Chains A and B, each alone.
Chain A
Amino acid sequence: MYAGFLILFCIVLALSWSSFQGNVKFRKLTKNIRERSAELPLAADLSHEVNKLRATLSQCNRAPADKYVIKAPIGDVFPRFQFRTNLASVHQALANYVLQLESGKTTDPRIADITLERDLVDQVEQSLIEIDGLVSHNDWDLGSSRYHAALEKELENLQGLANKLPAVLKQRMDEFAEQIRGEYQAAVLVSAVMTFIGMTAVCVLAWGFLKLIFLPLECLLKGTREVAAGNYDYRVELKANGEILELAEGFNAMTHNFQEIKRELNHQVQQRTKQVVRSEQMASVGFLAAGVAHEINNPLATIAWSAESLESRLLDILSPQVERSPEEHDAEIASMKKYLRRIQDEAFRCKGITSSLLDFSRLGDAKKSPNTLGPIIESVIEMVKPLGRYRRRNIDFICDARIQVVVNPQEVKQVILNLVTNALDSIDEGGVVSVNLKQENQRAVLTVRDNGCGMTEEVRQHLFEPFFTRRRDGQGTGLGLSISYRIIEEHDGQIEVHSEGPGQGSTFTISLPIYQNQQHEQAKRIAA
């Protein structure tokens, strides 16, 4: 990552440096060219002046007759003067040119080389000296003079040299342009290569960014969304390293801790719920025990009285003072037998009552298992029926004996006891509670219907809330129905209540999923 950024930085640096360098070079170049190009008009000037000089010379071509008589007309004097003026101009132009040439601040060695020019200038100067020498002769302008001819020749030479100067400069410029083009092409190539490398580096970096930052971030984001949606088992898996990996690990650790805390809290809630359920179960056992204790007093009274009576009858029989006829004796024995039989019967009646209570109150962590629901309901009804407070109330029980469900029998018994006793409490003497178990759409449906006091819509809405009690006798914990609700929920079932209104009775409906194996068996049977 860092290496990538370093490369990118280097490339940017190189590009900016090269562009800076290019600018500097370009500036230098233009300056040099300007410097040198300043020579060009001067050279041209020189050439022009020389041309003019030569042209003037051709006019200074007087006849030899005039050699002796100096009666030169104006017209004759003028060309000579003109020639001299022009020659001075040539000198001046050359001086200008040389001044420019020597003062040139050209630094580029490729165009700074002025040796050729110097040579030419030397030659021109030489030629000019020659001309000056020739002109110093008086008859230089005589057409027939040898000086004139020499001058002519020298001027031709000078013209050739002067004309050469711009050409030399132009040629040098051309060469230079050629060189510069080569350099320019190389620079273009280099910058193209650099640009390509830069683009590649940017692409690589972008790919690296995508791979190393964007994709892991996407992955983390997905993780947070999953966890936020409640999937606490989700773990972010990254093949990254560095900070992103650290972040992912931190996130995973956080999720893990959260999951642990949640599990712990759930465990605690379960524990507490179990305690509450158990205490409610104890309360219902207590309620039943109180009822059963009263019930047991009746058979106990029978047993006690029978035994007491037997004792006194036995004493009578054993006593020699009491005289009896054999018939009376037999009758006495028969009634004693009847008493003994009654004691046994009543003792077993007591046992029945206590064992059903024991069966109900058997606490402990009963696990969910497939159970036939009918007998469970029946055992509860059988236990409730003889209770004194419910003795004059009727319980109808209709049941589909085949229905099996996966339940914790103790808990389900508690729920049914709760519903049945509630129903019995809501009716008056002579009322009826109907308990009905049937199968509907792969669910076991248990309804407990009473024709008792019913309830209002408001009561119906709050019925399953904890501590909501409506018992007419003010007894009870107010937890019964809320615990029933919880138990049924834990069995993947539903519990509902329906009432037409106060005085119209009420109906509780529990639906539980049918035991799956049983469904398969039924399906097989139907298929067969």
Chain B
Amino acid sequence: MSKPNELQHRPLKVLFADDEVPLQELIADELPRMGCRVTVCPDGSTAVAAIEKEAFDCLIVDLDMPGLNGIQVIERAKELSPGTEAIVLTGKSSKDTAIAALRLGAFDYLQKPCTLIELQTRLQRVAEKRELTRKVVALETRLKKVEGSREMVGNHPLMNQVRRLIQKVAPSD
């Protein structure tokens, strides 16, 4: 299996929360093989406790769990660390819960049973995103150093027009 962390400087920190014991054991074995560091939690409350202790790059949560459910765990994680990505894993084929999870900012939605490759692909994309974010931040910092102020110079009407356009466009991704 190709290692997903070739791009990475450090492995992804993943939290896996599901009440199925065989799945917990599998993930505990398999994610390290993909080059991730994994913390396994048997229910929502344990997961929230773990999130509060340390920040994770990615959560893989089952929606239907004892104690707090997956949605609640994601909410809490986003509160504590907005950069945390979440992959929802569920045995139920309910679109409503999937949509709810995606609205909360979940990264993706997987339905049991899926393949490990699918999971790995999601994790790679999370890693890529994290890497790109990190790069953008680094480049911005360097750009600031080189260019000084980020303020645009000039007050020509045409320049003002460009400025207004930028302001209008900037909020959209």
Query: Does A309 contact B30, Cβ atoms closer than 8 Å?
Result: yes
Given known contacts A297-B113, A391-B66, A305 and B91 CB-to-CB distance under 8 angstroms: no
Residue of A nearest to B90 (CB): A297
Docked Cα-Cα span, A302 to B22, in Å, equals 6
Residue of B nearest to A343 (CB): B22
A312 / chain B contacts, CB cutoff of 8 Å: 1, 33, 116
A388 / chain B contacts, CB cutoff of 8 Å: 64, 91-92
Residue of A nearest to B2 (CB): A312
Interface size class of A (residues with CB under 8 A): 20 to 34
Docked Cα-Cα span, A391 to B30, in Å, equals 27
Does B117 count as interface, using CB distance less than 8 angstroms? yes
Docked Cα-Cα span, A306 to B27, in Å, equals 10
Query: Does B66 contact A303, Cβ atoms closer than 8 Å?
Result: no
Query: Does A298 contact B20, Cβ atoms closer than 8 Å?
Result: yes
Docked Cα-Cα span, A244 to B30, in Å, equals 96
Does A489 count as interface, using CB distance less than 8 angstroms? no
Interface residues of B in 1-16 (CB under 8 A from A): 1
Given known contacts A301-B91, A302-B20, A309 and B113 CB-to-CB distance under 8 angstroms: no
| Min C-beta distance of A406 to chain B, whole Å | 41
Does B167 count as interface, using CB distance less than 8 angstroms? no
A335 / chain B contacts, CB cutoff of 8 Å: 29
| Min C-beta distance of B43 to chain A, whole Å | 10
Residue of A nearest to B20 (CB): A298
| Min C-beta distance of B99 to chain A, whole Å | 18
Number of A-B contacts (CB under 8 A): 63
Does B162 count as interface, using CB distance less than 8 angstroms? no
Does B139 count as interface, using CB distance less than 8 angstroms? no
CB < 8 Å neighbour of A298 from B30, B66, B112, B114? B112
B92 / chain A contacts, CB cutoff of 8 Å: 294, 297, 388
Does A308 count as interface, using CB distance less than 8 angstroms? yes
Does B170 count as interface, using CB distance less than 8 angstroms? no
Does B26 count as interface, using CB distance less than 8 angstroms? yes
CB < 8 Å neighbour of B23 from A294, A298, A316, A391? A298
Interface residues of A in 79-132 (CB under 8 A from B): none
A392 / chain B contacts, CB cutoff of 8 Å: 66
Does B115 count as interface, using CB distance less than 8 angstroms? yes
Given known contacts A294-B92, A312-B1, A392-B66, A299 and B22 CB-to-CB distance under 8 angstroms: yes
B30 / chain A contacts, CB cutoff of 8 Å: 305, 309
Query: Does B91 contact A294, Cβ atoms closer than 8 Å?
Result: yes
Docked Cα-Cα span, A292 to B83, in Å, equals 36
Query: Does A302 contact B23, Cβ atoms closer than 8 Å?
Result: yes
Given known contacts A301-B112, A316-B1, A345 and B22 CB-to-CB distance under 8 angstroms: yes
Q: Mark B52-92, 1 if CB is under 8 A from A, else 0.
A: 00000000000010100000000000000000000000011
B26 / chain A contacts, CB cutoff of 8 Å: 302, 305-306, 309, 339, 342
Query: Does B64 contact A301, Cβ atoms closer than 8 Å?
Result: no
Q: Mark A263-305, 1 if CB is under 8 A from B, else 0.
A: 0000000000000000000000000000000110111111111
B29 / chain A contacts, CB cutoff of 8 Å: 309, 335
| Min C-beta distance of A334 to chain B, whole Å | 11
CB < 8 Å neighbour of A308 from B23, B64, B111, B115? B115
Instruction: Give the B-binding residues of A (Cβ under 8 A).
Output: 294-295, 297-306, 308-309, 312, 315-316, 335, 339, 342, 345-346, 388, 391-392
List 9 tightest A-B contacts by C-beta distance, closest first. Answer: A297-B91, A301-B113, A301-B112, A300-B113, A304-B113, A302-B22, A297-B112, A312-B1, A308-B116
**Pairs across A and B, CB under 8 Å, 17 listed:** A294-B64, A297-B111, A297-B113, A298-B112, A301-B20, A301-B112, A302-B23, A302-B26, A304-B113, A305-B115, A308-B115, A308-B117, A309-B29, A309-B30, A342-B22, A345-B22, A388-B64
Query: 8 new A-B pairs (CB below 8 Å) besides A302-B20, A302-B26, A309-B116?
Result: A298-B20, A298-B112, A300-B112, A304-B113, A304-B114, A309-B29, A342-B26, A346-B22
